Amino acid sequence: MHIISSGLLILVILNTLRASDDTVPIHIGCMLPITGRHSFWAAGIFPAIELARRHVNNRSDILSGYRLEFEVNDTKSQEGIVMQSFIEQIHNGPKKLATLCEEDSDDSAGCRVVFEVGAYWNLVQISSMASTEDFSDRERFPNFFRTRTSLPILNQVTVALLKFFNWQRVSLLDIDKEGFHPSAELLLEDFEDENITIVYAEALTSQLSAYMGRLQALNGRINIVFFDSASDKPQVFCEAYKAGAIAPKYIWITITEHSTNVKWWENVTLHDSDENEESEEEDDEDALSCTLEEIAMAAEGSLSIDSQLLRTDSVLPVSGQM
């Protein structure tokens, strides 16, 4: 408690000293899920933007004569409060020149609406998490900028990988409750442009055993799977193991949006055989009934494609900071 109080006191002193200089403040309205079920996102984002603020404000070659100031609203992990926070940021002083909005994923409607309507106030829109292709549409998001790689960039990597190994027949599975993910649709178009034959393509979240059967009937050896979360991987590889669709005869290439657990197969929760009968009836079709060893065996030889969140080389980026 004393540590937190001391930290807050230091921030107040620093803000007071900073306010006494002659630089002109540039106010950025921040909408972050500081509390609520997605608060873990803000736990990582807030220190990052504070570090960026200090780096910019302490350098004379960036925004000389100006300083960045953040006005933070807690969205409480609720989409409705995101829009409410945006309105408050617009109508309450000081005047904002930019907004930063973060949620748990691209599918969350709150920040997406903020990014779209913010253009009518001529505000710069900033995000470190938005990765879907539609944010690149300059007609809808003319002032939108992001620090994360756009997902279609991963499609280019996938095509390059297939061409490197001269794999010309592929199948695609998209683990998405709402149908094909936009990036998966773009990848199918890329396959056609590169004369890569699409053996089979489907979007589903259940009945994976039936999918494996169709895949084998069509002799689909090179299989690409879009995952929204690494937590969906065990089910797919469990079904692949039970169907015998594993390396070296079958190759699996996984594309995951938010993968932070590289060795995901070591942290798998197996199906509980003691669940109540109702749950068993609902989950019986796709119950995770493999052992950890079987899932790891199915994943052996698979290839994973994802954005690199942290640098592993010694090359200094534009910021000059590692």
| Segment 242-265 mean pLDDT | 82
Name the pLDDT band for 322 (thresholds 50, 70, 90).
low
289 pLDDT more than 90: no
Q: Is 231 strand, coil or helix? A: helix
In whole angstroms, give the CA distance from residue 314 to residue 320.
11
CA distances from 297 to 154, 170, 242, 293 (A): 26, 22, 11, 6
Please give the CATH architecture assigned to the domain spanning 23-148: 3-Layer(aba) Sandwich (3.40)
The residue that leads in pLDDT, 150 or 271, is 150
The residue that leads in pLDDT, 150 or 34, is 34
pLDDT at site 14: 45
Residue 241, burial from CB neighbour count under 10 angstroms (0-12, 13-18, 19+):
buried
| Segment 278-293 mean pLDDT | 61
Average pLDDT, the chain: 81
Domain span(s) for CATH 3.40.50.2300 in the chain? 23-148, 152-305
DSSP characters over 102-148: --SSTT-HHHHHHHHHGGGGT-EEEESS---GGGG-TTT-TTEEESS
The residue that leads in pLDDT, 118 or 308, is 118
pLDDT at site 102: 87
The CATH homologous superfamily for domain 152-305 is Response regulator (3.40.50.2300)
Residue type present at position 212: M
pLDDT at site 318: 67
Bridge partners of residue 173, in order along the sequence = 202, 225
Is residue 173 within 8 A of residue 202, CB to CB? The reply is yes
